[in-house]
A and B are shown apart, each in its own frame.
Chain A
Amino acid sequence: DAGVTQSPTHLIKTRGQHVTLRCSPISGHKSVSWYQQVLGQGPQFIFQYYEKEERGRGNFPDRFSARQFPNYSSELNVNALLLGDSALYLCASSLGIAGYPNEQFFGPGTRLTVL
Chain B
Amino acid sequence: AQTVTQSQPEMSVQEAETVTLSCTYDTSENNYYLFWYKQPPSRQMILVIRQEAYKQQNATENRFSVNFQKAAKSFSLKISDSQLGDTAMYFCASPAGIYKYIFGTGTRLKVLA
Q: Contact: B47 with A103, CB < 8 Å?
A: yes
Q: Contact: A105 with B47, CB < 8 Å?
A: yes
Q: Contact: B43 with A48, CB < 8 Å?
A: no
Interface residues on chain A, number (Cβ under 8 Å): 27
Total contacts A to B, CB within 8 angstroms?
Answer: 73
- Determine if A106 is an interface residue (Cβ-Cβ < 8 Å): yes
User: Closest CB-CB distance, B47 to chain A, in whole Å?
Assistant: 7
Q: Contact: B29 with A100, CB < 8 Å?
A: yes
Enumerate A66-93 residues with CB–CB distance to B below 8 Å. 88, 90, 92
Interface residues on chain B, number (Cβ under 8 Å): 30
Enumerate B31-74 residues with CB–CB distance to A below 8 Å. 31-33, 35, 37, 42-47, 50, 52-53
Q: Contact: A100 with B101, CB < 8 Å?
A: no
Least CB separation from A42: chain B residue = B103
Chain A residues engaging chain B, CB cutoff 8 angstroms: 33, 40-45, 48, 55-56, 58, 88, 90, 92, 97-101, 103-109, 111
Write 7 A-B pairs (CB below 8 A) sorted by A numbering.
A42-B105, A43-B91, A55-B98, A99-B98, A100-B95, A101-B31, A108-B44
Give 6 closest A-B pairs by Cβ, nearest first.
A56-B99, A42-B103, A106-B45, A45-B100, A48-B99, A100-B32
